[in-house]
Amino acid sequence: MIVSLREITDDNRDAALALRVEAEQERFVGSVRDALADAAKFPHAQPWYRAVYADEELVGFVMLSWNVEPQPPDVIGPWFLWKLLVDRGYQGRGYGAEALRQVAHLVRAEGASELLTSYVPLDGGPAGFYQRLGFVPTGDLDGNGEVIVRLAL
């Protein structure tokens, strides 16, 4: 399978909005609809988002703040992974990890030295996923009490 990041257009918007995680994961990651609403609400966070495809199948969504001036606690950056979601029917196949590798490659090419993200520090959350990919805690929390982690690029 070839994983690619593609713009969200009128042709794939409904499919992107239909992406869902498992019910027990909803406390860790919101919906694509919520992410797009946040993107519209916080344009100063320079939202950049893409649909994640495995070959021609839409399997996930990724959004980040793209080279933004940090304004803690609301806007973290300059490069902040705001959302990574893989649909419940496609999890465990490496699509999220590959999408994240591609995001890291893109932001590195733009001159970034690190990629930041955050997670809810509860059992069953994504801490292990990010750790396996090389993210380490910064020692800081975001405005919602989430642990901020960084990936050196």
pTM score of the predicted model: 0.93
Q: What pLDDT shows up at residue 27?
A: 84
72 Cβ partners below 8 Å, 6+ apart? 142, 143
Report CA dihedral (140, 143, 149, 152) to the nearest 10 degrees.
Answer: -90
Dump pLDDT digits (tens) for 101-116. 999 999 999 999 999 9
